[in-house]
Structure 1
Amino acid sequence: MRWKTLWLILILALAVTAPAVMPAAAQSGTTTITLALTDFMRNLPVDDALAEFEAQNPGIRVQPVYLPYPNFYYTAAAENIDEHLQGAEALAAAADVALVDGDSLSPEATRAGNFLDLTPLAASDAALNPADFIPAAWESFRWDNGLWALPAKIEPLLLTYDPALFDQAGLAYPDESWTLEDVAHAARTLTQYDSSGAVSIPGLVTNGSDAALLRSLYRQSLNDEAGNPRLNTPELAALLEGWAELVDEGVVSTFTTQNLVDNAIPMLIGGSFALGPDPLNPDTPGRVAAALPGGSLGITTTGFAVSGGTAHPTEAYQLARFLTENATFQSALVGYRSALMNPPLPAAPAAPDESGLVLAVSAFVDPQIAAQIDALLGQALSGAELRYADYLDAAIKAVTEGTDAVTALSDAEVKAAANLQTASALRGATPLIVATPIPEVVLAPGEIELTFSAGFAAQVGDWERLLREFAALDPQVGKVTLTSDYGVLSDYAEQNDCFYVNYNAVPAADLTQILALDPFLSADPAFSPADVAGNTLALLQRDNRTWAYPFSISPTLLNYHADLLAQAGIAEPRTGWTISAFADALRALDAVIPADQKPFTDRGFGDSSLLMLIAAYGGLPIDYRTTPPVFNFTDPATVEAIRTVLDMAKAGLIAYQELAGNGFMIMLGDGENPDPIYAEASGAGLMLVGGDIQMGANPYRMTTYPTGTYSAVSYEIGTGYISATSQNPDACYRLFGFLAQHPELFGGMPALRSQFSNPALLASVGQSALDFYTQFDALMQDPNTVIIPSPFTGELALMGDFITRRWLDAAFDDYVLHDADLLDALTDAQTKVEAFQACAATVPPYDPTNFNDYVTGLQTCASAVDPEMGSMFGPATGVSQ
């Protein structure tokens, strides 16, 4: 079950030979073991926890190995058994101990011998008492008479509902006695429809947890007494047939295009994050937690497994045992609470904070909600009970696509049994060897160490290996330390010699904290300003100097479904669309897709897509060609351009959700019908759908936004900076030149045209992406092109633009959703923007050493102009990072 990957808002290291190295076990009698963790845990208190363990176990040294998120959530066995077992083996080979859950630790993986049965070690551990754990958590990793991991943290899977909507409909609240018929009646009653009769808000959204819900309604095990899959039963077949009817009606949906923070969905299956009031609208009544219909509760258990190839099983078990109960490490794990019945309190702070929370409960769950969840934990289904849920998911999908339930369940059960046999046959066939710990670098005489941060981008990519490779090649640098703290530019500059951020910080930067790069650029024979795509270099300049190194560009782009375009008789926009051709394409697509679908969906954040379409029609409500930008919402040409685009949304050609109510909008595909055209920012987008290597059955292709009166682009620039306090700026610049030769590291379009033909980039994204890069580069150079910046930025100094755009968004909402007069709504927005600008001019300038005063000043101005802004900011007491 992969429901949690919707909200978790995801490498093995290569040893080098050039620097002098010290063996990993530097002291006699010391054993080094490795711990595989996800990349995003780099900035969490991992080192503090491991230092505690080493202090308690002086003969053991622990080396964390940070791996990209996909290394932990590889292909499910039900989808492809070979890929699943390869993923499990790679994780088990990466470290002696690995972070696991029900996705990464499967019966197939354990039968193949990838992970160690901990039963003998646990039996000899006098301090281990299974009764100390939440029962379902303890059972989550127990099958085939083995104990395959020690549980550490859990996240519940429950039904949350809006009691006000139930009251309005005269429905009784959900309870554990509910059957499928009760679910169907409530879902049909609570579903909302638009004026055309299409479903606008389904009564129940499952977030991909259909299998857990049906298991709860089934009220029987999915396993037989021997632990083998038991799916093909008449009772389960009847449930699947009834479920398929609800999905076909649209009253039940796997996913939703609703705002992710919208409480309007009557019934929603999700985790603890789905409870409580909307964090951006705290006065909104919260949702209520209930067990899944049928009386069960699902949980995802995170734990620690020991590799089947470890040479140090006892020490690895000791580490896994420590991590399950260490309060410091608990704070680094994603999840609602500890798997222990009575978790230890954190060492700091010594007293509970004002909310009364302890570390065992997520920060966004208040004590009253925690009590709701904890009262349900006795009804939780263990991960072991749901270990064949992926096969049930496959059967559910087959039934919703027309296969009869008996055949679908029979096929799923046969496939599960065959996959288990395949896994068992691999056990012992090839020795599993855990990767050797990376040697500790000892600087040779004359060598230096650089500190470097990749910020949030360090969560993905092979940064550590490449930094070691650079140190091995560079005659002066013996080591580059990748730091993990996050912050704003001033933080990075204070803590590092040099750093990378995935946005352009130059416009708001305190230039005293970074070095101008012009002396390095002019002396570098490998760098040419003419090689930089578009006008990117100019955007990194202030005071006639260049302050950042351009690494990557993340454009907002369109992905179109080639098969659906062909079905609608639309030629593929290989070189882009004109705005009139784009509008014609939307109308043609609307004739061939389901009535409840929209031809165009923006999967990104905010209003950039709308502003780019408006620009193509000749409107510039915010003219970013000047600094500061000019706001003119009521210019007649702009009003008509806005009306043209928003009328397309009103006509159902463009998917539209409230933009201003929560400060942002994000929409996803419905998981059932492919979006004909969707927009998203690259980085993730180009890597996931752009490349020929992924194409196969993937019908999506990339193109730019349509052109018209103006051509519009929106993008971010990934940039590198050298701290003004660095003692080794020359070495930092050499590092930048080395990293620029590895564009695959940055997950987007290279900022240097010479890298478009880099073989490593071609291998990672494919030729179609490279063709798009050339097309986008040409559009960036067009003098008729205007740049629409993202409303979100990594720098607080640019917060004012986000605020002013929210009033424009509110005018869009009033016209599309509430049939307001467009000119009146835009005039009101213009008035508020002008009043805010006058107030903001009195706020002291942004000071990174005291950013709270600046942010609070802008909040106060915004709330004075528009009291409804207060719900977006919360208490006007500043922010913390």
Structure 2
Amino acid sequence: MTSRRFALLLFLLMTLSAGISSAQSSDVVIQLAASTLSSDIIQSSIDAFGAAHPGIQVQLVNYDGFGSPVQYNDDAEAYQDDLAEYFRMADVLLVDETITAEATRAGYLLNLMPLTSSDPDYSAANFRGDLANAFSWDFGQWAIPLSVDATVLTYLPEAFDAAGLTYPDASWTLDDLLFAARQLAQFDSSGSMTLPGLWIQGGANGTLIQSLVMSLYGQSIADDMVSPSVPDYSDPALAALLDTWATYEEEGYTSYPSDFDTNLVPMRIGSGFGGRVAFVTTGGGDDAPPGLQQVEESNEIDVLLPGGHAGLSVNGYAISSGTSNPQAAWELVKFLIQQPNVIQLSGATNSALVNAPTQDSIGGNGGARIFGFGGLSDEMLEAAVAGGLMPADMRFARGITTALDTMSSDSVDARTALDEAAVAFNERLAVADARAATPIAVNPPEVVQELAPGEVELTFGVVAGGRFAFGGDDVWETLGNEFAALDAEVGRVNVELPSLGSDNSTENFDCYYSGTNLVPSLDLDTVLSLDPLIFSDPAIDPNDYIPGVFEQVQLNGQTWALPIQISPLVLTINTALFNEAGVPIPTDGWSVSEFEDALRQLRNVVDTDEAPLQFNDINSTALMNLIAVYGGLPFDMRTDPATVNFTDSATMAAIQQVLDLVKDGYISYASAIDTSGGNISINIRPQGDTAISAGQGVLNFGGGRAGFGGGPGGGNAGAGNAAAAINLTVPFPTGTSRNAVAFDLGALYLSSTSQHPEACYRFMSYIASAADTLDSMPARMSLINSDRLRSAQGDTTADFYNTMATIMSQSGVILLPADVSISSLNMTNWLLDVFDRYIADEVVDLATELQIAQQKTQDYMVCVANLEEPVRSQTGAEAFQQYFQDVQACQMAADA
């Protein structure tokens, strides 16, 4: 089924363009903007739409990220530029509650009212509550709702009972809410707040405060007596609410402690936490535990916000005013809002329709492949929608947070701040009105050129962590286009990027990239050995690679991948805190003793409850890296299977040294992951204003520069980014007896099913030789030192790459892989449990505890080794569910 669906997708991508064949030349082509991550899932709906609407072709236009990609910008002109670019992208586009009058008055969205009013198949009664009008203002309907979530108040009854307070309800005033919040807040002996009585998701001055104020105000802040409408903040009652809230802020109740547990907060304003499902993961995908499904019950209660309303996060589809085919686009919109997979990918969890479509699976391959979040019961959702504040109600609500910010920064009262906010908003609307004078047009559909006689097409895949590698999707397509223009045989390289609906099968690719090293667990029958091709390739010299790297992709005496990029585990230091503490910046590296001296000095400048060094990677690689630097090797990953040795004297000494630093408050780390009973529990320790943190794949060299893996749009942050400018990337300290470097390896693989293996290898070699143009650390020494890399990434970055390469090249250095599978997640549990208990002073004899943990770990590994891990491309979700249950059984047996 997977290959058939892929073939259909490939066929559509090859033919969805104007004028390719005479049979299709008269078809209408509608472009649909969609996140690249969701393209495979949406494609199944497009296929169904095409079958039901002959004569209309749908072409996907992909963008990075989730939901609507346009984010609000304080610069009104820049915001309009982003909006214009988005609405030129496609005929049909996803929008959310952040779309405001600034977009509609600029003329980017088509008024759908003529279409809805003339369509007998469309009825506002088909939507929950009044959601049909969620995007209706200024005599226009600007989008059709697709999905909805709600902002409500969640409270813990036991906290109210203990304080002798009445439970919150919709009749509460702001005074009622803040009185309870003050009574329920907890403080330590010094008077510092340890737990707030009220917590607002996203921050006290985030967008959710707008919903709270609007619910309490209970009236419109839009002046609809003029057309188009304008904001009206003139009511003294609105100013009084802001003044009351500002007083609460000034008392310090919104200065949340950095280490509190939000689950213990008596009152929370957010997306709802008292419902049936807190976190769900099902099906496959390399980023989610296969077959895991977690459902949590809660004793928390959700109610409407004080004032009797709920804030509604509504996602919908709009049609660009630049479309040439409004009727065909309208047919697509009507179809999409009924598709359950599209609803789940919109950014909200509930259909906007009364008779919500149901979903058996996502992706069409036997199981859901996305993370789903939902907190509201059906009853609470209906109440929230019935009393909900829709985007139409909130289109001028940004002025509320603008006023609150002004009150705080300029020490003015609410009346003054609201007046200033109104002026500022009207100025932005004037900018939008000016844009309306220039109509937009949707970019023409992409035309796929025919191959010349004798030319072939390659299908290149990007899987397993390569989704955002090197700064976005365009890099891969650019490399493919360059190669196709140079190669005599290859006419086109079709780049396939992973999506939430894909099963990460590689059988449909001629060759592919993975951002993580797949060789240790790879089914070698699915790839070709590269040795004959490498040996005859003058562009590839294995001796040019950083020592130890090429060996990572070799197994059974053969080479199974071509390394191109390294993601080392590095430390990011806050240079401002280093300077404040008088600690030298370790630009040229640092020894263990210098590292410990730095921790002691930094302890004086970080928050009292924060550790200077924080490891928050859930696979504990950073902690194991530091233990290796101190001379210990609990897990020797150089052997297969890994050698477990917790009781070696050097390892025990290293463990104790590192744990003593943790116990003394110099280091914090993420503790064990518990998967017993089918649930996942991860304890992430506090992270406040961190002096040193560990990270993989992101480098900072001042001036806001983020290195490889920087995410969509490239790895370069603006030079004016103050937060990034104070961060600097440095290596782990060097040990006295050995050094260690944990890293992941980006490499290229040649599929055994490829019909053009030699041609695809030539493309692989082309990419490998161009690795110094990517925003990453090349795996080859010659590329690290190339002029092209220094020109693209700068001397500071190149110097750091050389430092890492030098460390990795040292004799006796331990190279630690970063790949963590389901079974190896559990592999560290017993060791981390000893760590946690040692830090809590619950371990009397560390050697004995480590011996017990070692035995349990070895028993577990033997058990898991006897399990047959299912192959994603050959089995369904049930097989993964069973495999995960078997892994859990091994864990329980080892614990017995």
Is residue 86 from structure 1 mapped to residue 81 from structure 2 by the alignment?
A: yes
Output the CA distance in 1 between the equivalents of 2:256 and 2:130. Answer: 25
Shift of 1:153: 1.3
**Is residue 274–residue 299 contact of structure 2 (8 Å, CA) maintained in 1?**
no
SS of the residue corresponding to residue 454 of structure 1 reads strand
Output the CA distance in 2 between the equivalents of 1:178 and 1:316. Answer: 45
Structure 2 CA distance for partners of 1:88 and 1:565, relative to 1, 3 Å = same
Shift of 1:643: 3.7
Is residue 122 from structure 1 mapped to residue 116 from structure 2 by the alignment?
A: yes
Is residue 102 from structure 1 mapped to residue 97 from structure 2 by the alignment?
A: yes
**Is residue 489–residue 505 contact of structure 1 (8 Å, CA) maintained in 2?**
no
Partner of 1:876: none
Partner of 2:742: 714
| 1:427-482 deviations in Å (ceiling 9; x for gaps) | 224x5232211113433322223233212534642244543454344322233334
Structure 2 CA distance for partners of 1:193 and 1:800, relative to 1, 3 Å = farther
Aligned residue among 587, 590, 613 for 1:577: 590
Is residue 836 from structure 1 mapped to residue 860 from structure 2 by the alignment?
A: yes
Output the CA distance in 2 between the equivalents of 1:84 and 1:762. Answer: 33
Partner of 1:375: 383
State the Cα RMSD in Å.
4.0
SS of the residue corresponding to residue 729 of structure 2 reads strand
**Is residue 154–residue 300 contact of structure 1 (8 Å, CA) maintained in 2?**
yes
Structure 2 CA distance for partners of 1:574 and 1:236, relative to 1, 3 Å = farther
Shift of 1:34: 0.9
Partner of 1:675: 690
Shift of 1:232: 6.6
Output the CA distance in 2 between the equivalents of 1:335 and 1:566. Answer: 44
Shift of 1:588: 2.8
Aligned residue among 829, 832, 838 for 1:806: 829
Structure 2 CA distance for partners of 1:57 and 1:624, relative to 1, 3 Å = closer
Q: Which amino acid aligns with 1:836?
A: Y
Aligned residue among 498, 501, 511 for 1:498: 511
Output the CA distance in 2 between the equivalents of 1:561 and 1:843. Answer: 45
Shift of 1:234: 5.1
Is residue 859 from structure 1 mapped to residue 888 from structure 2 by the alignment?
A: yes
Partner of 2:730: 703
Structure 1: gaps of 5 or more residues: 1-15, 868-881
Deviates more, 1:639-648 or 1:680-689: 680-689
Partner of 1:816: 839
Shift of 1:716: 1.5
**Is residue 691–residue 765 contact of structure 1 (8 Å, CA) maintained in 2?**
no
Shift of 1:603: 4.6
Is residue 216 from structure 1 mapped to residue 215 from structure 2 by the alignment?
A: yes
Shift of 1:378: 1.0
**Is residue 38–residue 501 contact of structure 2 (8 Å, CA) maintained in 1?**
no
Structure 2 CA distance for partners of 1:291 and 1:812, relative to 1, 3 Å = farther
Partner of 2:271: 271
Query: Number of residues paired by the alignment?
Result: 828
Q: Which amino acid aligns with 2:270?
A: G
Output the CA distance in 2 between the equivalents of 1:293 and 1:818. Answer: 45
Is residue 65 from structure 1 mapped to residue 61 from structure 2 by the alignment?
A: yes
Shift of 1:728: 0.8
Deviates more, 1:306-315 or 1:588-597: 588-597
SS of the residue corresponding to residue 493 of structure 2 reads strand
Identity of aligned residues (%): 34
Output the CA distance in 1 between the equivalents of 2:427 and 2:845. Answer: 62
Partner of 2:350: 337
**Is residue 34–residue 60 contact of structure 2 (8 Å, CA) maintained in 1?**
yes
Is residue 140 from structure 1 mapped to residue 140 from structure 2 by the alignment?
A: no
Is residue 393 from structure 1 mapped to residue 401 from structure 2 by the alignment?
A: yes
Output the CA distance in 1 between the equivalents of 2:843 and 2:72. Answer: 49
Shift of 1:544: 1.9
SS of the residue corresponding to residue 315 of structure 2 reads strand
Deviates more, 1:263-272 or 1:149-158: 263-272
Q: Which amino acid aligns with 2:271?
A: G
| 1:389-422 deviations in Å (ceiling 9; x for gaps) | 4443344445556744535444433322211112
Partner of 1:878: none
Shift of 1:84: 1.4
**Is residue 157–residue 271 contact of structure 1 (8 Å, CA) maintained in 2?**
yes
Q: TM-score, normalising length from structure 1?
A: 0.83
Shift of 1:576: 2.7
Deviates more, 1:512-521 or 1:247-256: 247-256
Pairs within 5 Å for 1:45-444:
46-69=42-65, 72-77=68-73, 79-103=74-98, 105-135=99-129, 137-191=131-185, 199-208=193-202, 209-225=208-224, 226=226, 227-231=229-233, 235-240=237-242, 242-243=244-245, 251-252=253-254, 263-271=263-271, 275-276=275-276, 285=298, 287-327=300-340, 329-345=342-358, 369-399=377-407, 403-406=411-414, 408-429=417-438, 431-444=439-452
Output the CA distance in 2 between the equivalents of 1:21 and 1:517. Answer: 40
**Is residue 210–residue 254 contact of structure 1 (8 Å, CA) maintained in 2?**
no
Shift of 1:527: 1.9
Output the CA distance in 2 between the equivalents of 1:402 and 1:521. Answer: 66
**Is residue 25–residue 32 contact of structure 1 (8 Å, CA) maintained in 2?**
no
Q: Which amino acid aligns with 1:138?
A: A
Output the CA distance in 2 between the equivalents of 1:624 and 1:639. Answer: 18
| 1:716-753 deviations in Å (ceiling 9; x for gaps) | 11222111121211121122233346659976433344
Output the CA distance in 1 between the equivalents of 2:384 and 2:160. Answer: 21
Partner of 1:9: none
Shift of 1:515: 0.5
Aligned residue among 456, 460, 464 for 1:448: 456
SS of the residue corresponding to residue 828 of structure 2 reads helix
Output the CA distance in 1 between the equivalents of 2:816 and 2:134. Answer: 49
**Is residue 240–residue 399 contact of structure 1 (8 Å, CA) maintained in 2?**
no
Q: Which amino acid aligns with 1:381?
A: L
**Is residue 484–residue 490 contact of structure 2 (8 Å, CA) maintained in 1?**
yes
Deviates more, 1:729-738 or 1:441-450: 441-450
Shift of 1:184: 3.5
Output the CA distance in 2 between the equivalents of 1:770 and 1:395. Answer: 46
Output the CA distance in 1 between the equivalents of 2:113 and 2:417. Answer: 36
Shift of 1:181: 3.8
Shift of 1:545: 1.5
Output the CA distance in 2 between the equivalents of 1:653 and 1:454. Answer: 40
Structure 2 CA distance for partners of 1:553 and 1:447, relative to 1, 3 Å = same
Output the CA distance in 1 between the equivalents of 2:894 and 2:321. Answer: 63
Shift of 1:165: 4.5
Structure 2 CA distance for partners of 1:541 and 1:153, relative to 1, 3 Å = same
Q: Which amino acid aligns with 2:26?
A: G
**Is residue 493–residue 514 contact of structure 1 (8 Å, CA) maintained in 2?**
no
**Is residue 118–residue 147 contact of structure 1 (8 Å, CA) maintained in 2?**
yes
Shift of 1:492: 2.8
**Is residue 43–residue 484 contact of structure 1 (8 Å, CA) maintained in 2?**
no
Pairs within 5 Å for 1:746-825:
748-756=776-784, 768-790=796-818, 793=820, 798-817=821-840, 819-821=842-844, 823=846, 825=849
Output the CA distance in 2 between the equivalents of 1:144 and 1:741. Answer: 56
SS of the residue corresponding to residue 69 of structure 1 reads coil
Output the CA distance in 1 between the equivalents of 2:218 and 2:778. Answer: 54
Output the CA distance in 2 between the equivalents of 1:658 and 1:622. Answer: 17
Q: TM-score, normalising length from structure 2?
A: 0.82
| 1:196-254 deviations in Å (ceiling 9; x for gaps) | 76555544432313333333344444433454234476545554455456557765467
Shift of 1:613: 2.6
Structure 2 CA distance for partners of 1:63 and 1:845, relative to 1, 3 Å = closer
